[in-house]
Amino acid sequence: MDHLQASCVKWMMYWIIFALFTTAETFTDLFLCWFPFYYELKIAFVAWLLSPYTKGSSLLYRKFVHPTLSSKEKEIDDCLVQAKDRSYDALVHFGKRGLNVAATAAVMAASKGQGALSERLRSFSMQDLSTIRGDSSSPVPPPVTVRTSSKQSKPKTSRSASESTGSSVCSCCSVCRILREAWSLLSFAQLS
C-alpha cells in the first residue's frame, strides 16, 4: 500500500508541473519559437520531468510549487469558498429566471392558442354556413322553441334524436362537419 501511495504522489507532482509547463508554453511559443533548437529543448525538458532517475517534476514541485501553495493556502481556500457561494447564487438566480421565462412562454402560448380558437370560431358565421350548405338564397332557420307548461319559463330548443343521445350529428352535410369541428375545438380548449 505504501508503494502505491508513493507512486500516486509522484504522478500528482508530475501532472501539476506538466500543467504549469503547458500553460507557460502557450506564451513562450509566441516569442521563442524562432530560437534554435527550441522544440528539441522542450522535448528534453519533458523527458527530464518524467524520468525516474532525474526526478525533475519532484524537484520543481518541492522547491517552487509546494512552498508557494503553502504560503497562499488560506487565500486559496477563501477564494474557493467565495466561488462556491457565487456559483450557488448564480445557479439560483438563473434557475429562477429560467422558470419565469418558461412560465411566461407557457402563458403566452396558451393565450395565443385561445385567441386563435376564438378567431376560428368567429369565422363560422351563419352566412358562411349557408353558403357551404349550398343554400345561398335561403338563410338558415332559427332553432324551434317548444313550451311545455306554464311553470317553466325557459324555452327549450328542439334537438334531433342523435344529439340528445350524445352521439355526433349526421355526417352527410358540410354544416354538420363544421359544427363537429367547432365542438371538438371547444372541448379541447376547455381541457387545456
Q: What is the pLDDT of residues 15-64, one digit of tens each?
A: 999 999 999 998 988 888 888 999 999 999 999 998 888 889 999 999 99
Q: Is the pLDDT of residue 181 over 70?
A: yes
Residue 10 in any domain: the answer is yes
Res 169: pLDDT: 45
Residue 41 lies in a domain: yes
Considering the domain boundaries, does residue 181 fall inside one?
Answer: no
17 within a domain of the structure (yes/no): yes
Residue 186 in any domain: the answer is no
Q: Cα separation of 178 and 176, whole Å?
A: 5
Highest mean pLDDT among 87-96, 118-127, 160-169, 174-183: 87-96
Task: Kindly state the helix (H) or strand (E) to which residue 137 belongs, with its residue range.
Answer: none
Residue at 188 is within a domain:
no
Query: What's the rounded Cα separation, in Å, for the pair 57 and 13?
Result: 6
Q: Which DSSP category does 61 fall into?
A: I
Spatial separation of the C-alpha atoms in residues 169 and 158, rounded to whole Å: 14
The mean per-residue pLDDT over the stretch 143-171 comes to 46
Q: Which three cell numbers stand for residue 28?
A: 513562450
pLDDT band at 182 (very low <50, low <70, confident <90, very high): confident
Q: Would 106 be classed as within a structural domain?
A: no
pLDDT of amino acid 160: 44
Domain around 61: 2-72
Residue 134 lies in a domain: no
What percent of the chain clears pLDDT 90, i.e. is strictly above it? 25
| pTM as predicted | 0.43
CB distance 172 to 133 below 8 Å = no
Total domains, the chain: 1
Mean pLDDT of the chain: 75
